[in-house]
Amino acid sequence: LASVGSAIAEIDRLRLDNASLRNENERLAAENGRLLEVRRQNELLTGLLEVRNGFEYQTVAATVIMRESSEFRRVVGLDRGSADGITVGDVVVAGGGALAGRVTAAGPDSATVVLVTDATSTVIGQLAASAATGEVVGQLGGVLVMDQVDSGVAISIGEDVLTAGIELGGGVRSPYPKGLLIGAVIDVRRDANDVVQTAYLQPAADLDRLEYALVILDYEGGLPPIEQQPVDCSGSGGGGAADSGTLPEGEQPCRPATPAPSLSSPSATPKR
């Protein structure tokens, strides 16, 4: 009987030891996961620091605190605002210096950014190899469409597309600095009878998972004085990128008719 009791006691002790080991394993697994997340966050922030150090522009780093991703919209909110120098029209970049979008509203401590993958976004892109230009617009699914590219231009799969930074004279040029990476070509389509072709791009940054960004503060875009800018850019337009003599609708330098609300509903500060 004594031996039986001893065996039962040993079994109970082993059960306690096993439970203790399981708890320790769970603690170590959680700690390991936390350390991996810290490492990932550190890598993201280090990447942004490298971009900032390589830029000729003044920037402020921001964290994504809001995300709107619906059938038609691709919008994020940042935790920095006008108190940090951010104004409407500022260009936003992601890790690696890839173009992320543009500020559309700014309050004291927050800003709203329409991403390049949003259906309302239009950017003049330039093919890296040929320097040919086209209008890069967002569409459903996150793939970018580069329209109005001359059909005689050779486009290669994998070719980079950068912001063109077109200047049109009269104090008007693209609000996007020249040379920011937009994406890479993944498909090209052209009708035999068309004089233009269309390229499909994979965005250079995973904007659906954007966590941190840099906002460019001192790129003015060479826009006319604010009093000379049109109040409303909602009219028709948006022809060829470089041939029509005007910027496409999505790149028009205009001052808002009324201040746009920010995340916390303060009035926006127009970009001068």
Banded model confidence at residue 197, pLDDT cuts 50, 70, 90: very high
Q: Of 2-6, 81-85, 102-106, 148-152, which gets the smallest average pLDDT?
A: 2-6
Query: Which pair of structure tokens corresponds to residue 132?
Result: 């040919």
What 8-state DSSP symbol labels residue 142?
S
Banded model confidence at residue 166, pLDDT cuts 50, 70, 90: confident
Query: Which pair of structure tokens corresponds to residue 192?
Result: 């035999």
Residue 247 predicted with pLDDT over 70: no
Q: What local confidence, expressed as pLDDT, does residue 237 receive?
A: 41
CA dist 70 → 75, 154, 217, 219 (Å): 9, 34, 28, 30
Residue 262 predicted with pLDDT over 50: no
User: pTM to 2 decimals?
Assistant: 0.71
**Higher confidence at residue 71 or residue 268?**
71
**Higher confidence at residue 7 or residue 247?**
7
CATH architecture of the domain 122-207+219-249 equals Beta Barrel (2.40)
Cβ count within 10 A of residue 33: 10
Alpha carbon 97 to chain centroid, angstroms: 10
**Higher confidence at residue 147 or residue 231?**
147
Side-chain-facing half-sphere of 171: CA atoms under 13 Å: 8
Residue 100 predicted with pLDDT over 90: yes
Digit-coded pLDDT (tens) for 117-162? 999 999 999 999 999 999 999 987 889 999 999 999 999 999 999 9
Mean pLDDT over 22-29 rounds to 85
Q: What local confidence, expressed as pLDDT, does residue 139 receive?
A: 87
Task: For residues 17 and 244, give the distance between their C-alpha atoms in angstroms, rounded to a whole number.
Answer: 78
Q: Where do the domains of the chain lie?
A: 1-54, 122-207+219-249
Average pLDDT, the chain: 81
Percentage of residues in the chain with pLDDT exceeding 70?
Answer: 78
Q: DSSP letters of 26-68?
A: HHHHHHHHHHHHHHHHHHHHHHHHHHHHH-SS-EEEEEEEEEE
**Higher confidence at residue 210 or residue 3?**
210
Residue 178 predicted with pLDDT over 50: yes
